[in-house]
Amino acid sequence: MRVADHLDGALSADGTVRGLAAVTTDLVEEARRRHGTLPTATAALGRGLTAALLLGGLSKAGERLSLEVRGDGPLGGFLAEATDGGVRGFVSRPKTDLPARRGKLDVGGAVGRGILCVMRVPATPGPPYRSIVPLVSGEIGVDVARYLVDSEQTPSVVGVGVWVGPDGLVGAAGGYLLQAIPGASDDAIARLEENVAVARTPSELVREGLDASGILERLMCGLEPRDLERRPVAYRCRCSQRRALGACAAMGREELERVRSAEVVCKFCGQRYDVGDEALRGILGGSPGSES
């Protein structure tokens, strides 16, 4: 039976190991459909969306987290944004598809060498926090773990995966993030490493029918994990007619006076907004339009 998308958290009995896991099959399929991605690009974007949700699970309520990868490979890169269980994203070259490597989609080859940028925008007024680290592999999971070690000094293990069927549709997607909190014993860390070493990939675990709690139970076996809050996750965009009008206003007065209508397409979800002559004249007159 297909498991609905959700994010789950757990803490070891002694409180020194924290885990997050997510099932993201439906939202990654929605991203594939909206952007028309081919398999390798689907896997890259899906891993990015899943990783953003996992990192967002460590954030405060209302905080917006963005995860951007820029590489010199044929994919170019992608951007994923997560806020309170909602996630959206896009990939630079959605038609990227490379031959499989060792039986798996070659996301690392598609991304190439480059950088990973993570930005946290607080819910309350204040400057955003941005961190940039070099890509380790381009496979996303290892790169996000490197970011957590380098920028947040937190030893972590991150796994994200997407399984694309022969028909090009997303059959399974998910991921996990495991952290050793200060005070964790050597035995606990060794047990965690042993569990991860023998575990199947996140997408394979989802294909087995495991939900996020089941994934954490397997990866935190022997640490007596205790479930924390479960929350639904979904592909959710923040675009609107008002934001479309704002994009038109950014065109500048000279350009607005030249055109009679405009079509604004959201890069994150593909939604199209028609802005007619009256709305454009309203922008020129100083009226920002209304939220739809």
Same domain, 123 and 195: yes
289 lies in a domain? no
In order of 3, 204, 210, the CA distances from 200 in angstroms are 18, 6, 12
292 lies in a domain? no
Same domain, 225 and 245: no
120-159 b/e (C-beta count within 10 Å ≥ 16 → b): bbeeeeeeeeeeebebbebbbbbbbbbbbeeeeebbbbbb
The β-bridge relationship of strands 234-235 and 64-71 is unpaired
Using one digit for the tens of pLDDT, what is the confidence trace for 8-50? 999 998 899 999 999 999 999 999 999 999 999 999 999 999 9
Same domain, 189 and 277: no
CA–CA dist 37, 96 (Å, integer):
8
Phi, psi of 228 (to 5 degrees): -105, -155
Same domain, 105 and 231: yes
What total of structural domains would you count in the chain? 2
Helix (H, G, I), strand (E, B) or coil at 6: strand
pLDDT attached to residue 292: 36
**Lowest mean pLDDT, pick from 9-18, 49-58, 83-92, 274-283:** 274-283
Q: Specify the length of the chain in residues.
A: 292
What's the mean pLDDT when you consider all of the chain?
92
CA–CA dist 218, 199 (Å, integer):
8
Q: Does the structure show a pLDDT above 80 at 55?
A: yes
266 lies in a domain? yes
**Lowest mean pLDDT, pick from 170-174, 176-180, 248-252:** 248-252
Range of 245's domain?
Answer: 241-284
Same domain, 125 and 248: no
Same domain, 70 and 176: yes
Q: What is the CA radius of gyration of the chain?
A: 21
CATH classification of the domain holding 257: 3.90.1280.10
119 by Cβ neighbours in 10 Å (0-12 / 13-18 / 19+) ranks as middle
Same domain, 175 and 108: yes
Using one digit for the tens of pLDDT, what is the confidence trace for 192-201? 999 999 999 9
Same domain, 61 and 132: yes
Q: In the structure encoding, which two tokens stand for residue 158, read together?
A: 């991150």
CA–CA dist 187, 222 (Å, integer):
10
Domain boundary among 195, 211, 235: 235
Q: In the structure encoding, which two tokens stand for residue 245, read together?
A: 């009008």
Q: Does the structure show a pLDDT above 70 at 290?
A: no
Q: What is the 3-state secondary structure (H, E, C) of 60-109?
A: CCCCEEEEEEEECCCCCEEEEEEECCEEEEEECCCCCCCCCECCECCHHH
In order of 72, 188, 256, the CA distances from 179 in angstroms are 30, 11, 51
pLDDT attached to residue 258: 81
86 lies in a domain? yes
pLDDT attached to residue 291: 42
Same domain, 33 and 94: yes
1 lies in a domain? no
Same domain, 252 and 187: no
Q: In terms of pLDDT, which residue wins out, 286 or 117? A: 117
| Beta strand spans in the chain (E) | 6-11, 17-23, 64-71, 77-83, 86-91, 114-121, 129-134, 156-164, 170-180, 226-232, 234-235, 262-265, 272-275
Same domain, 198 and 267: no
CATH classification of the domain holding 224: 3.55.30.10
**Lowest mean pLDDT, pick from 16-25, 167-176, 241-250:** 241-250
CA–CA dist 89, 75 (Å, integer):
14
Same domain, 141 and 172: yes
CA–CA dist 35, 277 (Å, integer):
29
CA–CA dist 57, 43 (Å, integer):
21
